[in-house]
Amino acid sequence: MHQSSSGMYSSVEFFNLCIFFIIILLEKSSAAHYQYEACVPKACGTLSIKFPFYIRGLQESYCGHPGFELSCSNSPAIHLTEDDYVIDNIQYENRIFRVHNEAVSTVGGCLPQIRNISEDSQLGIVDTSRLHLLSNCNSELPEVLSSYKVNYCDPFNKEDLGLVMLGEDKNLTIALQECNTNVLAPVEVDKNGGNGIVDYEGLLRKGFLLNWKVADCSKCERSGGRCGFNEADGRTRCFCPDRPHSESCKPLSKNARGREMN
């Protein structure tokens, strides 16, 4: 029955063994480049995360751009200036994403501590109004300001009281004279909203849009690649199944080839 059990392979067995090793070799040589493999988009909450973002601990830092590191608990969040902002959606094709201050989601009926957010060369705030969060105000406030009073959730000033009004509000000039601390939170308001009492919790929860100005990845993605970042030269790369390219997995056209090595 077992004619080959003496230790010699039958020709059929030898043939099968050869096929087996050939398959192994083919698989090895056809495996995609490790950076292309590593930068596959990952889910966080309902969002798909890819360049310029990367999730700390879940994706390699070279899969994103410096400054675009996210944390992921239930939803993705990004640290901007001094606060964490929850990301509610990302429009990769338009390079914009919607955020709201993380402190806002956890509380209700009071104003959490929010700090100024600053723009930089990589991230800009898309055309919004500003909500002025005023604190350290004089104890005797003019009557006209009384309807703007709010309570802070976590008292960090003596009276635990502040004023909230939009940048367009006509009473803002008076308020600025009465309060020593002013923090500006970007918010989106209707054309006719501007004066008087605002639903500050609703506005802060709705959040605002940010747009990123770092490398556009559409050309790379259209060619089947995944964008990433090369820390050595501080430039964006297009990770392709074969190897990293500069812009696209497809060879450049003849006239473009002279300008840049792909």
Q: Which residue in 33, 40, 67, 37 sits closest to 52, CA to CA?
A: 67
Residue keyed to tokens 């990770």: 239
Give the binding-site size for ligand NAG (rule: CB under 6 A). Answer: 10
Say whether residue 246 binds ligand NAG (CB under 6 A).
no
The greatest distance separating any two alpha carbons of the chain, rounded to the nearest whole angstrom, comes to 105
CB of 171 to ligand NAG, least distance (A): 4
DSSP string, 127-152: S-EEEEEEEEE-SS--GGGGGGEEEB
CB of 39 to ligand NAG, least distance (A): 37
Which residue's CB is nearer to ligand NAG, number 55 or number 172? 172
> In the set 10, 46, 74, 147, which binds ligand NAG (CB under 6 A)?
147
Say whether residue 144 binds ligand NAG (CB under 6 A).
yes
Torsion of CA 178, 179, 184, 185, to 10 degrees: -100
Q: Which residue in 139, 108, 120 sits closest to 212, CA to CA?
A: 120
Which residue's CB is nearer to ligand NAG, number 105 or number 182? 182
Helix (H, G, I), strand (E, B) or coil at 45: coil
> In the set 138, 195, 218, 262, which binds ligand NAG (CB under 6 A)?
195
CB of 181 to ligand NAG, least distance (A): 5
Residue nearest to ligand NAG (CB): 170
The type of residue at 78 is I
Contacts of ligand NAG in 161-190 (CB under 6 A): 170-171, 181-184
Q: By the criterion CB under 6 A, which residues form the site for ligand NAG?
A: 116, 144, 147, 170-171, 181-184, 195
